[in-house]
Every structure is written in structure tokens, then in C-alpha cells.
Amino acid sequence: MEIEKKYLINLELSELSKYNNDKIVQGYISTDPVIRIRQKNQSFYITYKSEGLMIRNEFEDEISHKQYESLKPKINYNLISKKRYYIPISDTLTAEVDVFENQLEGLVMAEVEFASEEDANNFIAPNWFIKEVTYDPMFQNSNLCKQNNINFLK
């Protein structure tokens, strides 16, 4: 079970270099249901996600580089490339800040995962979180992969 909220943020990108980060490239074999392949640094995964916005089931398995490469030609739409930074925002919560590249360059979004729905509903966002987009399907990565440029935000 994945319980997460998403936010557009206002943060100086130059400040991100002090945080741990991962390079992520992902594509969608299907967007309905969501079946995603992902390269995270030198590891590879296939993920299934159920319907939902804040709460949904997620099943992820590690796959080999060879399996990833064999599935890559089967993706629909665009590959998403991003750098993910991990910023602690409390003793128990971390903001995963995604800085998108290529066709989505300019989009910067934070995700926060919670242990329970109650925790998510009681969350008070830091002041650099400027707009919650949890319930806007446009900001799900499975929809962002369909965009050819960041102008869709305007």
C-alpha cells in the first residue's frame, strides 16, 4: 500500500546538491492499469500500481538489466528522466523532490509518503510546498509521460 501526497514546490535548485539523490529513468508499458519499468541508478524494477491518487496498491519487483532493456521498446509515450533528492522534513518524513529533465524540464515536484491515511490527512506541509497536486491526475507520472513539453502546466 502506498500513501503519498504530491506538491509543486518553490526551492532553490542550487540547494539540492547537499542532499542524497538518485538518477531515475522510467517508462510505462501500460498507463491503465499502470505498469512501469524503472532504472534507478544501476538497479532495475517493474512496478504495478492500482487505481487511486493518494492511496493505492503498489507491487514492485527488481528485474535484471537485460529484462529492463527487453521491455524498454514496449513502453508507450515518453520516457521520464528525473533526478530525485531526499530532503528530511521531520524525524519520520522525507520529501522526495523530483527535478524532471528533457520534455518535462522545469517541473519540480515533491512527494511525501505516509504510514497511514490519518498521518497523510494531518500533514502540515512546509512553507516551500506551494501547491498540493495529490488529487490532480495530470501530475501522476503515468500521465506526465504523455506530455511533450512543460507548457501543459500553463
Enzyme catalytic residues? 28
Check if the beta carbon of residue 115 is closer than 8 Å to that of residue 5: no
Contacts of 30 by beta carbon, 8 Å cutoff, 6+ apart: 76
**Cα separation of 64 and 122, whole Å?**
39
Q: Which residues contact 115 (CB under 8 A, 6 or more apart)?
A: 3, 92
Per DSSP bridges, beta strands 43-49 and 34-40 are antiparallel
What's the grid cell of residue 110?
A: 515533491
Strands 2-9 and 129-132: antiparallel
